[in-house]
Homo-oligomer: A and B are copies of this chain.
Amino acid sequence: MFNELVIPSRTIMTPGPVESNPVALQAMSSRMLGQFDPAFLTIMNNVKEMIKIPFGTKNKQAFAVDGTSRSGLEAALIALIEPGDKVLIPAYGRFAYLLGEICERAKAEIKYLEKDWTGTFDQEDVIEAIKEFQPKVVAMIHGETANGQMQAIDKIGPFCRENDVFFMVDMVATYGGVPIHVDEWCVDIAVAGTQKCISVPSGLALVTYNDRVEAVLDARYQKELGLSKDDRNENHIASNYLDLSQLQRYWSDERINHHTEATNMIYGLHEGLRSIINEGMENVFARHAQNDEAIVAGIKAMGLGFYGDLETKMPTVTPVMIPEGVDGEAIRELLLEQFGVEIASSFGDLKGKVWRIGNMGYSSRHENVLHVLAALEAALIYYDAPINQGAAVKAALNVYKRSN
C-alpha cells in the first residue's frame, strides 16, 4: 500500500536546508540510547562545548532546542519578553518580520526600524533608534537569507550592553559559515540552526546566552507541576516546551526531566560540529569565502546582475537578478528535474525577481559551485536568455586555480 522511500540525488545550492555532511547522516542512524544513559550524557556535554565554538563564545550556557531554527528564535524571545515590553526590530529583510511576529504573539510593544532590502543598516542609525525608543530588547538578523545581506553588529551590541538593553541575534544563516564573535559583539542571546552551514538535517535550534539572560531565566523559573507542586512562579515563561529556564536545567547536571531528547539528531549535531571543528574554523570560513568568490565571478561572467549591495553580501548566499523576460520558476524546475540541482527563489517583493544561490556547509564545494554555474548557464541557454556563453565555469575555475 505504501511504497518505500524514494530519495533522488540532489545538488542542493539553496540557502538551506543544504546537503548534509555524510558523517552526520551516518551518526544519525546509530542505535538508540536512553536520554539519561551516562553514554548519552557524555555526548550532550560534548555537544554543549562544541556549540560554543562557531558562536565564538565562552558562555556557560549553550545547548539545543528540539525544534527547527525558529523554535530557538521563539524560545530566545519569549525568555526575555513579558507583555508590554518594548522590542526594537531593525528590518532589512523577511526574517526580521518573523522576529516581529513572535514578539507580537508574546504581546510586546514592537517598533520596526525599516529600510529597503538592498543593503544593511548603518549601525549608527540603529543606535539612534535605540536611544529614541529605549527598548528592553533589540532583536536582529545577522544574515538575512531573503536578500543575502549581512548586518555588522559590532557597535550595536556594545551600545546595548552599556545601556542595559538586551541584544538578541538570529545567526541561523551565518553560524558555521562566517566568523561570529558573540562575546566580543556583546550579543546576549544568539540562535542558530543545524540545516545550513553545519550541514546536519533540520530539526534542532542552537542557543547560547550569557549571565544577564540567565539571571532573567532564573527569576522566571517554574518547575513543572508533574515533578513538583512547589516552585510556582507567577512570572513564568508563556510556553512549557520552549521554556529555556527548564531546558537549561535539563542540559545541566540537574537533568530535570523535561522532554525526551531527540537523541539521534544530537548524534548528527555532534558529528556535524566535530567535522567543522576538526577542519578548523578558519579553514571553514576560507572555504566558504573562496566558493562565494567563485559563484560571484561565475554569475558576473554570465552577464547576470546581483540584488543588493555586494559589499555587505553574506558569503553564504548570493541573490541573482532573474533576467528580464525569463521565467524564474521554469528555470528552477528545469534545474531540479533535469540536472538534479536545487536553487531557491525568494520571498515577498523579491519573489519572481531574484534567485538565491546558497553556499553553505557541506554544499560549499568546488564541484557543487561548478555544477550549479554550468547547469544555470545551460538552462538559460535552453530558454534563449541573452547571456555570455562559456564564461561562467571558467571564471569560477580561475578563482580556484589562482588560489591554489
A336 to B38, CA, bound (A): 10
Give A2's nearest chain B residue, CB to CB: B274
Say yes or no: is A224 at the interface (Cβ < 8 Å to chain B). yes
A48 to B27, CA, bound (A): 27
User: Is the C-beta of A214 less than 8 angstroms from some C-beta in chain B?
Assistant: no
Say yes or no: A30-B5 contact (C-beta < 8 A), given A68-B259, A201-B262.
Answer: yes
| Chain B min CB distance to A62 (Å) | 14
Q: Report whether B71 and A226 are in contact in the complex, using a CB–CB cutoff of 8 Å.
A: no
Task: Knowing A46-B2, A50-B2, say if A241 contacts B74 (CB, 8 Å).
Answer: yes
Q: How far is the CA of A155 from the CA of B235 in the complex (A)?
A: 38
Q: Once bound together, how far apart are the Cα atoms of A260 and B200, in whole Å?
A: 12
Residues B25 and A31 in contact, CB atoms below 8 Å apart:
yes
CB-contact partner of A241 in B37, B242, B274, under 8 A: B242
With A29-B29, A66-B67, A203-B265 given, is the CB distance from A7 to B39 under 8 Å?
yes
How many residues does chain A have at the interface if contact means C-beta atoms less than 8 Å apart? 92
Q: Is the interface of A mostly helix, strand, loop or mixed?
A: loop
A120 at interface, CB cutoff 8 A = no
- Complex interface residues of chain A between 334 and 386 (CB less than 8 A to chain B): 336, 342, 347-348
Asked if residues B66 and A239 are in contact (CB atoms below 8 Å), the reply is no
Tell me if A16 counts as interface (CB < 8 A to partner B): yes
Q: How far is the CA of A213 from the CA of B237 in the complex (A)?
A: 26
What chain B residues lie within 8 Å of A25 (beta carbons)? Answer: 28-31, 264
List A residues at the B interface (Cβ < 8 Å). Answer: 1-10, 12, 14, 16-20, 25-35, 37-39, 42-43, 46, 49-50, 66-71, 74, 94-98, 100-102, 104-106, 146, 193, 195, 201-203, 224-227, 236-242, 257-265, 267-268, 270-271, 273-274, 277-278, 336, 342, 347-348
